[in-house]
């Protein structure tokens, strides 16, 4: 009689183990069923000639396909969002020396008013990038069609909307490129945007090429 409670306890524990094991097995089966794609359904159709043709029925309906597309899109977005980005920072030497800053490639005009060449744009902060005592000039090659007329070029301070003092260069009656160099330039303080401007004296085609700023620190 004294062993009855102990046996009862063992019996209850054994029953609990069986129940828990059964639930675990059932949950595992449910996961297996949910993660296993449905088997294709084959439908047999008899044609008018009496021939039996087998057709595979798509058991994944429109809603099923939409869910798949959403899952794929989410996965792609996750992969795209995990890509690292790289920031490129221009290093400016402050230890002295000579720097050349390219100002576009080639441009032409027949305008007798100043024409701005937008692809020559460059930002310069002379004091912070170099020093207040830096020596600045710029140079470019110019020519005029038929060796008749005059070609002009200058630097334009687009931030302050003024031509850079002392930056105007020109060539007269030269159908071949002639390189011209400015005098020392006094750039305004601050981070300013500079562009090249060109014009023709009399409407003949002028060509600009190979412009660059030279900074000696």
Q: Going from the N-terminus, what domains does the chain have, and what CATH number goes with each? A: 4-65 (no CATH), 98-216 (2.60.120.260)
At 156 the pLDDT is 98
| Alpha-carbon separation of residue 121 from 105, 156, 158, 163, 202 (angstroms) | 12, 9, 9, 14, 26
At 157 the pLDDT is 98
Q: Kindly give the confidence (pLDDT) of every residue in the chain, 217 residues in length, as a single tens digit, with 9 standing for 90 and above.
A: 444 455 554 555 555 555 445 545 544 554 454 455 555 555 666 666 566 556 555 556 655 655 555 454 444 334 433 433 333 333 334 446 999 999 988 999 999 999 999 999 999 999 999 998 999 999 999 999 999 999 999 999 999 999 999 999 999 999 999 999 999 999 999 999 999 999 999 999 999 999 999 999 9
* CB of 120 closer than 8 Å to CB of 153: no
* Residue 115 burial (10 A CB sphere; 0-12, 13-18, 19+): middle
At 105 the pLDDT is 87
At 151 the pLDDT is 98
Q: How many CB atoms lie within 10 A of CB 136?
A: 24
- 3-class DSSP string for the chain: CCCHHHHHHHHHHHHHHHHHHHHHHHHHHHHHHHHCCCCCEEEEEECCCCCEEEEEECCCCHHHHHHHHHHHHHHHHHHHHCCCCCCCCCCCCCCCCEEEEECCCEEEECCCCCEEEEEEEEEECHHHHCCCCCEEEEEEEEEEHHHCCEEEEEEEECCCCEECCCCCEEEECCCCCEEEECCCCCCCCCCEEEEEEEEECCCCCEEEEEEEEEEEC
> What's this model's pTM, rounded to 2 decimal places?
0.57
Determine the Cα–Cα distance for residues 59 and 99; give it in Å rounded to an integer. Answer: 69
């Amino acid at each position: 009689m004294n062993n009855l409670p102990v046996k009862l306890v063992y019996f209850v524990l054994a029953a609990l183990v069986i129940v828990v094991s059964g639930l675990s097995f059932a949950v595992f089966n449910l996961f297996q069923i949910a993660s296993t794609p449905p088997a294709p359904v084959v439908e047999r159709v008899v044609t008018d000639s009496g021939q039996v043709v087998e057709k595979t029925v798509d058991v994944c309906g429109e809603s099923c396909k939409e869910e798949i597309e959403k899952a794929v899109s989410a996965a792609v977005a996750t992969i795209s969002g995990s890509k690292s980005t790289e920031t490129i920072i221009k290093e400016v030497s402050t230890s002295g020396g000579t720097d050349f800053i390219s100002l576009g490639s080639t441009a032409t005009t027949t305008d007798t008013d100043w024409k701005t060449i937008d692809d020559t744009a460059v930002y310069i902060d002379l004091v912070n990038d170099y020093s207040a005592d830096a020596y600045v000039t710029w140079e470019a090659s110019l020519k005029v069609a038929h060796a008749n007329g005059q070609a002009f070029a200058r630097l334009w301070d687009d931030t302050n909307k003024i031509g850079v003092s002392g930056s105007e260069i020109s060539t007269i009656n030269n159908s071949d490129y002639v390189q011209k160099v400015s005098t020392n330039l006094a750039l305004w303080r601050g981070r300013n945007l500079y562009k090249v401007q060109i014009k023709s004296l009399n409407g003949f085609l002028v060509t600009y090429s190979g412009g660059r700023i030279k900074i000696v620190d």
